[in-house]
Structure 1
């Protein structure tokens, strides 16, 4: 877990750690409000990747020479750092390309061999497509069905309705920890406890939680938890699946190849133990070295401090946006991350985002890989401003000023 800091953090100095934040876009200072899409990288992460390629580049677990040993030590060191960050055992952490791969791994290696016609999977209305489509594909192949837990007017799960869905035929509940569209923080510990009482396995998509709040997966009590490195200020193409050891031991390999075996004969293959059983081929070694550096960076700041900083920014942004005529915010959960999805009356989301970009403001517009949620609200798309600890109150003021400017242009 993350150690507490006694001295206040100089957030201006922290911001200076991120080179891209000094650039201009269309002649205006960049205001990057798209961290739910991907987090920006501190210099220490960029330098770690550069140093690996300059000084240590070799494949892992295959060579006894110095570079091979150094690469393996750095790669496995990143696994150990991430395991401590998540409070899980290192032998239960599968390194992979990100949450999408992690969820597909569970879908094809755990669910596909187990589900039968008549079984069911429960998802929630607020899921990212990465936590919907793999389950649809598995359901089509097994004859299982999918049930949907709905949300209330504030964008919170209707827990009574959710628990009513957890009937004996349900074998898996898959849900997001933090909504990428609404910012809603789901009470995953309580939900997983209720599922466990009923003998239902649980998978939690932690993509939007790991970069922004203290995590203790052991305390959550789920069966599977997935994270994405590039949202944690690490390189793209990195992430991890945590799974209970009994699941890893029972699951067959998802992808076959080198490094995931103990012995190969034409008569048959003996596979390695988990997690390596699921890590075929050459991994993104430099990426994971960078992710290890990102974990170091986040841990040094302290996730509780990051959470508090982002909550302060969110409160300030909500107050400022409340003064914008015709603006509607989607999702006002009691516990919410620093994600604000919105529309302005009379303006299309893409038009708003395009004009804001000309003012130097980077936000996302679209369905945010959450079509069922857009259908729930009856809109084709929203704008999304997602904040991180490296953002500032001044940027929020500039964003609101730019929003008022483009709103008038579109009126």
Structure 2
């Protein structure tokens, strides 16, 4: 049977139109998809066989990249901490279909600058291209959320322990006062050397009891507007001699026009003094101790940065717990009192540390205590 050439041409033209429409529709879909992903507030990365093909603005900001060009073509695993490689790879293999949405799992993300941040990742197959799955992954920064959760847990612990400690300390204080009085009487009458030793140990017990009393909810009664710069400058002057002995140089980089804050100046002085003395003691061979400030909306952030030996990563969550200390002769109560005072001022303490490089204590305080 002969085929009419005109029919063959019509069929060919119809085929061209169908293919053209198919490619046109694909490009329209791809453009719409890219547009939706780009404007999403969630950090989204698109990848195939582990190779990045697209990142939206939020994802570039999260990773710390300046442009798409420096990211496209790189492996997504370049930015995932190696301990999580196996679980993430197995999760990608589980997707197998455009409707198979995977729940979020926690991972550590490595930013361009090398900083590790806590995130969570969820993935789904966006579409299939030439037999290869194109995967869309949402990566959320959960470090702030984890800090808030830890702060709430710590606050509950501080409240319970503070009430218990204050009750025990109150019961100990009365007999302790009697023991100190009679020991001083014996010392003045018989001048026994044992009395001196007993008085030293009783004074140490009294110091611990006083710290127990401070663990109860601090009553911030003397609230006034105070200049944090003047307060810290006065403490630097008091600690100058101790810093010189330890070969520590103190640098204050607090802004001259830092806003006044409502606070109990004596209680904040106790917090700052504790942190500054800890920083100096953490640098027995000397170093730089820097105090910085940053004003953010209605808050004032103070950073106390030392070049000490640092704190092991696994010990940082335990800081502020009773009787946990990194010092040989510490009680672990001083920092716990600091947490209580800052919490009473509606502020927060966040500690960062790297072994061998030093520790940074971040204190955030509101400019007003009004609720």
TM-score by shorter chain over 0.5: no
- What TM-score bracket applies, with the shorter chain setting the length? under 0.3
State which structure, 1 or 2, has the greater radius of gyration over its C-alpha atoms: 2
Q: Highest relative contact order (Cα 8 Å, sep 6+), 1 or 2? A: 1
TM-score (norm 1): 0.22
Structure with greater helix share of residues:
2
For normalisation by structure 2, the TM-score amounts to 0.24
Higher strand share: 2
